[in-house]
Amino acid sequence: MMHEEYQEKGVTYIRINKTKARVKYNEGKTIYLIQDMMRLPNVWKKPCPIHKDGLSSIGREFDDHVKDFQYYNCDSQRGHGIKYFIKQEEL
């Protein structure tokens, strides 16, 4: 995994691996998903935030969100894998 860090509107987003993303999700932190061939700051695709306490997330596990995101958003043009980001202050 490459070290990636992006700033947008004064907020720093840091790339983390899937294991750490799962742990932070279970702690109630917001995780941002984007396809692996996309950069975080771009005009075509915004990162998809997932968090445990949202209305659509009640009773949903981390892997359920990841599978849904991969099914609906990943393809040969944007990438089949997923990159996980978290805000720096939530680390």
Which of 90, 77, 83 minimizes the C-alpha distance to 40?
A: 83
Which pLDDT does position 77 carry in this prediction?
92
Question: CA 9, 65, 45 angle in degrees (round to 5)?
Answer: 40
Which pLDDT does position 53 carry in this prediction?
81
Q: What's the rounded Cα separation, in Å, for the pair 10 and 8?
A: 5
Tens of pLDDT, residue by residue, the chain (91 residues):
788 999 988 999 999 999 999 999 999 999 999 999 998 778 788 899 999 886 666 778 999 999 999 999 999 999 999 999 999 998 8
